[in-house]
Amino acid sequence: MTEANLSHVPITEWAALVPELDVRDLAHSQDVYTRLFGFTVNYTRPGFVYLSLGRIQWMLSQIREGGSWQTGALDYPLGRGINFQISVLDVDALYKRLEADSYPIYVPMKTSIYLEGGTEHEQREFLVLDPDGYLLRFTD
């Protein structure tokens, strides 16, 4: 991906929580997040990209030796013990795009019901691992 084909869109309001994920191959991760997952590049600097998808804001940072924020070994899959729920406008279209690209689906599309007290909430969802093993749960 070259600088010429990136869409730089200004952030008008910063999210209160923005995950920053360390990645092994920033160019590859950026390609997957933009081309397949549908994120937009907001800005880049060497070793870093800031992305958004609707109101979601996301950062990817190239792993570097002696990174000052690394709290332990960065072995695949990264992000063990966490999944990121990402609400998208058209979860079916995203699922079809990933299938068409033969992107591995970790948990196939399904309808789940989650309880909030006595209220049932239904959502369609599927899960994938990003290139570094971070678990992403895309929902409608």
Domain containing residue 84? 3-65+78-139
pLDDT band at 9 (very low <50, low <70, confident <90, very high): low
pLDDT (tens digit per residue) in 42-60? 999 999 999 999 889 999 9
pLDDT (tens digit per residue) in 106-121? 999 999 999 988 899 9
**Residue 72, in any domain of the structure:** no
**pLDDT surpassing 70 at residue 70:** yes
Please tell me the pTM assigned to this model: 0.87
**Residue 19's domain is classified under what CATH number?**
3.10.180.10
3-state SS assignment for residue 61: strand
Instruction: Identify the residue whose tokens are 């196939």.
Output: 108
Cβ-contact 84, 17 below 8 angstroms = no
pLDDT (tens digit per residue) in 79-96? 899 999 999 999 999 999
The total number of structural domains that make up the chain: 1
**Residue 70, in any domain of the structure:** no
**Residue 28, in any domain of the structure:** yes
> Of 43, 71, 36, 42, nearest to 55 (Cα)?
42
Distance of CA 60 to the CA centre of its chain: 9
**Residue 57, in any domain of the structure:** yes
